[in-house]
Structure 1
Amino acid sequence: MKLRTLLMGAIATTAFAPLALAQDQGGERGRDGDVKIIYWQAPSIMNPYLSGGTKDLEASSLVIEPMGRYDETGAMVPYLAAEIPTVENGGVSEDLTSITWKIADGMMWSDGTPVTSADLAFTAEYCMHPEGGCAQGAKFDGVKEVEIIDDQTVTVHFNEAKPNPYGPFMGAQSPILQKAQFENCLGPKAPECTEQNFNPIGTGPFTVTEFRPNDVITMAANENFRDPSKPAFATLTLKGGGDAVAAGRAVMETGEYDYAWNMQLAPDVLSKMAEAGMGKPISAFGTLVERLEMNLTDPSPDLPEGERSTVAHPHPILSDERVRRALSMAIDRELLVEVGYGQAGRATCNLVPAPALYASDNTECLTQDIEGAKALLEEAGWTDTNGDGVRDKDGKKLSLLYQTSTNAVRQDFQALIKDWWSQIGVETELRNVDASVFFGGDPGSPDTFQKFYADVEMYANNFDGTDPQAYLAAYRCGNEPKPSSQWQGENINRFCNEEYDALLDELSRTGELDKRGEIAKQLNNMVTKDSMTIVPLVDRGRVSAVSNTLGGVVLNTWDSELWNVADWYRIKE
């Protein structure tokens, strides 16, 4: 069996202005002074293995790097690696049971010590520790061992043939940690290592000089970075907090910042900002899906702490698939797109909307059906016995807590969805949480999306690269956040289906691309169309804002958005 090249995802540019790239003439490292980035979802940790939040993953990508990344086309490119391993170059075994990574010559940590194979083996041990909780555990799904061959070479052995062996050490979700810094942070000790988690030693273009959680990160150029002419900027400031409106204005209207991430704003708002002439929005489609997650476990505060939102207690309302389906049927996705994203959004029924090979032809959810939703709730036994407009059953009201992060578009979505649900007899309490907390991953906080102390929650994330295997593996039984994993884990709604797990195993053994596509579509449909455990809403184009004086930016939907920050520079007038 031969490993075949994975399909690259097509990137569709919206009607926003294209990004003009002036050529950097090169020169000394740090020649262009300071660059300022604003993330309205403030980073709270610099270790993506302890947070599922995109803002934490992307902030940490400035400092710690994987062996390889995905470029703006979805193609794999080496970073710390000498080359991307394939069957053709001997890096992937003919039977697909192993992949061998070789560190490129001269790779140094920011403290001046060499990157070695011990660091790669340790990174795997760190994430796979049985007593720990790793937010990126699916990247190591099926790994049997990581064998050190020599100081620069490791072989990852899998339990069985792995047609897509690019989980460990590939992409922004699986960077390399320095063993010397983190070796006392294994298992349950991982979240206690504040210094390491806030100030990781890395190989990237920048190093942390000060980290203030949920506020601001200041960085300096890494003096041991592999290219002596990069980065062009001597310092980098990453400001967090606020909202998308303020972030967009800071780049496109006032010019205070150079780059603003995730402009989750209505299209007319973006256009108005761009008229100021200081910057422009840029956009590309990838795999980012705004969705509702249905909690299959009981989040009631009446349960003892440690038992809320755990599989020991099924949800008293949402365990019934008919209720989940009715909630989905009541939603007008096309209106959500119009209100929230315009040309930068597409209504979808899929968790995996791209590449085309893996995208299901599921379109049933695109038609709103209020009357059908009412009938389904009636069938499930939910009726309005006292005429107050809210259905009830066995003395319990059909009342849900619906939470998301604080953001103008998301609050608009909440208001619309609450209204549609009220039309079918569902009472909805809305709650929004500051994004820095919601996506922060703090095991002590009751307000994280992983802990899920609500009935329904809304957010978006995506997967790096173009193959969704690791992304779909997030919903494997046992991968749910729980106290024993410090509330880390990617199976947010606590979904568990033995048939789903068996299909995941089949996907991991399948090398033929068309067959992989069919299996991935089945898995997508099992958590969406068939069960409505995940209720997709909008396939979102990634929209950010860039200053007219910032060059080298290449928007990437397949990896960290800050993937090529080493190539950024100041455009000289």
Structure 2
Amino acid sequence: MKKFTTFLTGTAAVLALGAASAQAERGSDGHLNILYWQAVSILNPFLSGGTKDVEGASMVIEPLAKYDEAGNMVPALVDEIPTVENGGVSEDLKSITWKITEGLLWSDGTPFTANDVAFTAEYCMHPDGGCQQIAKFTDVESVEVVDDLTVKVNFSVPKPFPYGPFVGAESPIIQKAQFENCTGPRAPECTEQNFGPHGTGAFRVTEFRANDVVSFEANPHFRDAAKPAFATATLKGGGDAASAARSILETGEFDYAWNLQVEPEILNQMAAAGRGVVVSSFGTSVERLELNWTDPSPDKGAIRSTIEAGPHPFLSDPAVRKALSISIDRELLVEAGYGASGQATCNILPAPELYASTAVNWCLEYDVEEANRLLDEAGWERGGDGIRAKDGVRLSILYQTSTNSVRQATQALVKDMWQQIGIETELRNIDAAVFFGGDPASPDTFQKFYADVEMYTNNFPGTDPERYMAGWLCSDIPSPANGWLGANMPRFCSEEYDALVGQMAETAELEARGELAKKMNDILSNEGALIPLIHRGDVSAHSVTLEGVRMNSWDSELWNVADWTRAQ
């Protein structure tokens, strides 16, 4: 257990952002209990892509701008969003200049300056750092400190959407003074900094227990002297989605519970107790199957599930990949596990509407007969046990995901569906804190992908998908060389895809950007890099006594925790 001691050095009343607070004074509403059943492992989102880690960190460290519940960009540590119209973005689209709000302080009482912003870029862009959010800094040439309150980001090419760095919960600012000795290969070694970062957010860390609980107190230097309403907060981890829902809706022991992936009929029964409210919103979350394009066999040793291991023994066959997709009854998965909070999809990029393709809807046609025909034609013959094989290779899949009742039910249904086409499936579930934890020493992370197929959901902050779609670049494949921190889980590599990513980075016109994103989406689905299943609505719940929650699918769900209050 790591204990952090904090010191109160006086409260600075600085320029308040947003609406005036309803509470009389900071801390007047006592304690806030938050439950993320996938426990937080680290409070540095640059070292973890796990949503629970990013959102836990968002209570402490902030970006220059956030996204609100409608997907609009809103100022956080600045007075306005830079644009071409207001002079903040250059006419040639090769730079963006941010003007920091005057008087901001870190939670240790020291001034927040442009030097911290520039250092954050240096930290993430370090060639040996393995930064999980490096895609946010694509094409950044330099980050220039103009003065203490002005920072200029220079790009090597025109950036029609220059809001990758320092926008959204995945790209917050870290304090230079705290992290300057933690760059490059030293980054993961700085336990105290990674577990207890100084921040500008509404809270600061008092105690951190990895994969268990984080304790917070109100940041005495927060920019609004009347916020947050809560004097202390706890972010508890552990359990599962069903027990998390119960803790809000039935027992009332927590104030907010995240990611309630629970069967809809069970959730409705719990909500009938009247202690809590279920809240949901649709963003870009897609429950998908990632197919491993490399060989995950244990006999490959240290290079298993890497490009060096060679192609997958049977998922390298496009007939197998397509058969796997069309033999899944997605509507049944929706009905069994999601109800109104799920929609069958063939898109990895289902929203906003501008980017949603209709060209890959072939996968919605549940067709076992066609799947069997494809496999027969490709030479995969059934053996005496009904399992197909070719050239001594059996169609036997290790299918892994995180531990969750809906996910295990989905696994069981998919296993039965694949059995109908002669594919054997071994199911494996891993504790979510481990699966999404990003520990480079663990063999069980979704980045290591020591399996044939894995299932999970992720999304991206904001409404522009450029950085998200760049996650399937050849250069973003996880490997020992980058600490297993890349986002390209399938190990998919396509020159055509990479070229489209580069083209989108140079395209300003919105409709044209939409067409490029659709093409990338279609390549991923048609090639079978992944198999989209369900467009998921985000579902959480909060106590009937908790006010101010604005459910957000475009940023951290805790994005406006400074505005949460207790009903009187």
TM bucket normalised to smaller: over 0.9
State the partner residue of 1:58: 55
Say which is worse superposed, 479-488 or 433-442, in terms of deviation.
479-488
Q: Secondary structure at the match of 2:307?
A: coil
Aligned residue identity for 1:533: A
Structure-1 residue corresponding to 2:429: 432
CA distance in 1, matches of 2:211, 2:424: 33
Question: Is 2:263 aligned against 1:259?
Answer: no
Corresponding residue for residue 308 of structure 2:
312
In the alignment, structure 1 residue 369 sits paired with structure 2 residue 367: yes
Number of residue pairs matched? 547
Describe how 1:194-213 pairs up with structure 2 within 5 A. Answer: 194-213=191-210
**Take 2:41 and 2:139, find their aligned partners in 1: how far apart are those partners?**
30
Match of 1:341 in 2: 338
Q: Does 1:411 align with 2:408?
A: yes
Q: What is the rounded CA distance, in whole Å, between the counterparts of 1:192 and 1:377 in structure 2?
A: 49
Asked if 1:421 is matched to 2:421, the reply is: no
Mean alpha-carbon deviation: is it higher for 180-189 or for 335-344?
A: 180-189
Q: Deviations over 1:253-279 (max 9, x none)?
A: 011000000110111111100111100
Aligned to 1:250: 247
Letter paired with 1:366? L
Would you say 1:544 and 2:540 are equivalent positions?
yes
Q: CA offsets, 1:386-420, max 9 Å, x none?
A: 32111111112111100000000000000000011
Give the corresponding residue for 2:284: 287
Q: CA deviation at 1:499?
A: 1.0
CA deviation string 1:121-152 (max 9, x = no partner): 11111111111211111111111111111111
Determine helix, strand or coil for the equivalent of 1:509.
coil
Structure 2 equivalent of residue 378 of structure 1: 376
The residue number in structure 1 matching 2:112 is 115
Distance 2:378 2:400 in 1: 24
Find the aligned partners of 1:318 and 1:130 in 2 and give their Cα distance: 32
Classify the secondary structure of the residue corresponding to 1:46.
coil
Give 1:317 deviation, angstroms. Answer: 1.3
CA contact (8 A) 2:21 2:226 kept: no
Alpha-carbon contact 1:139-1:470 (below 8 Å) kept = yes
**What is the aligned partner in structure 2 of residue 401 from structure 1?**
398
Q: Structure 1 residue 119: deviation in Å?
A: 1.0
Cα distance in 2 between the residues matched to 1:230 and 1:379: 66
Q: Distance in 1 between matches of 2:50 and 2:317?
A: 29
1:201 maps to amino acid: H
Alignment of 1:150-189 (within 5 A): 150-189=147-186
Is the CA contact 1:131–1:484 (under 8 Å) kept in the aligned structure 2? no
For residue 26 of structure 1, report the CA deviation from its aligned partner. 2.0
- Alignment of 1:558 with 2:554, yes or no, is yes
Determine whether 1:239 maps to 2:236: yes
Q: Are 1:462 and 2:423 counterparts?
A: no
TM superposition shift of 1:24:
6.5
Aligned residue for 1:533?
Answer: 529
Report the aligned-residue RMSD. Answer: 1.0
Secondary structure in 2 matching 1:303: helix
Is the CA contact (8 Å cut-off) linking 2:107 and 2:204 kept in structure 1? Answer: yes
Structure 1 match to 2:496? 499
Return the letter of the residue paired with 2:566.
R
Q: Partners of 2:160 and 2:374 in 1: how far apart? A: 42
> In structure 2, what residue type is equivalent to 1:419?
D
Cα distance, 1:82 vs. partner? 2.2
Which of 316, 327, 352 lines up with 1:355 in the alignment?
Answer: 352
Task: Name the counterpart of 1:226.
Answer: 223
SS at match of 1:411: helix
List gaps (5 residues or longer) in structure 1: 1-22
For 1:436-455, what aligned pairs fall within 5 Å after superposition?
436-455=433-452
Q: How many angstroms apart in 2 are the aligned matches of 1:374 and 1:69?
A: 48
Distance 1:300 1:145 in 2: 42
Task: Specify the code of the residue in structure 2 equivalent to 1:308.
Answer: R
Contact 1:24 1:569 in 2 (8 A): no
User: In structure 2, how many angstroms separate the alpha carbons of the residues matched to 1:322 and 1:176?
Assistant: 46
Equivalent pair of 2:116/2:174 in contact (CA under 8 Å): yes
Q: Deviations over 1:517-557 (max 9, x none)?
A: 101100111111x2011110000111101100000100011
In structure 1, give the amino acid aligned to 2:567: I
Question: Which of 543, 551, 563 is residue 567 of structure 1 equivalent to?
Answer: 563
Structure 1 residues 30-63: Cα deviation after superposition (integer angstroms, max 9, x where no partner): 0000010001111111011111110000000000
TM superposition shift of 1:379: 2.3
Please give the alpha-carbon distance, in whole angstroms, between the structure 1 residues aligned to 2:394 and 2:129.
38
Q: Output the amino acid matched with 1:469.
A: E
SS state at 2:308 partner: coil
- Specify the alignment match of 2:134 in structure 1: 137
Shift of 1:380: 2.3
CA contact (8 A) 1:171 1:559 kept: yes
Tell me, in whole angstroms, the C-alpha distance in 1 between the residues paired with 2:533 and 2:69: 25
- Name the SS of the counterpart of 1:474 in structure 2: helix
Instruction: Supply the distance in 1 between the matched residues of 2:21 and 2:217 (Cα, whole angstroms).
Output: 20
Task: Name the amino acid aligned to 1:555.
Answer: M
Q: Distance in 2 between matches of 1:123 and 1:481?
A: 22
Contact 1:132–1:484, Cα closer than 8 Å, also in 2? no
Residue aligned with 2:41, SS: coil
Equivalent in the alignment of 1:87? 84
Question: Which whole-Å CA distance do the structure 2 matches of 1:304 and 1:311 have between them?
Answer: 13
In structure 2, the residue corresponding to 1:209 is in which secondary structure? strand
Give the conservation status (yes or no) of the 8 Å contact 2:313–2:393: no
The answer on whether the counterparts of 2:314 and 2:393 sit within 8 Å (CA) in structure 1 is no
* Other-structure match for 1:11: none
Aligned mates of 2:260, 2:24 — CA distance in 1: 32
Q: Deviations over 1:216-264 (max 9, x none)?
A: 1111000010000000000001110100111001011011000000110
**Mapping 1:1-20, distance limit 5 Å:** none
Cα separation, 1, equivalents of 2:320 and 2:146 = 54
Which ranges in structure 2 are unaligned for 5 or more consecutive residues? 1-19
**TM-score normalised according to structure 2 size:** 0.95
Q: Which amino acid aligns with 1:311?
A: I
| Deviation of the 1:381 alpha carbon | 2.0
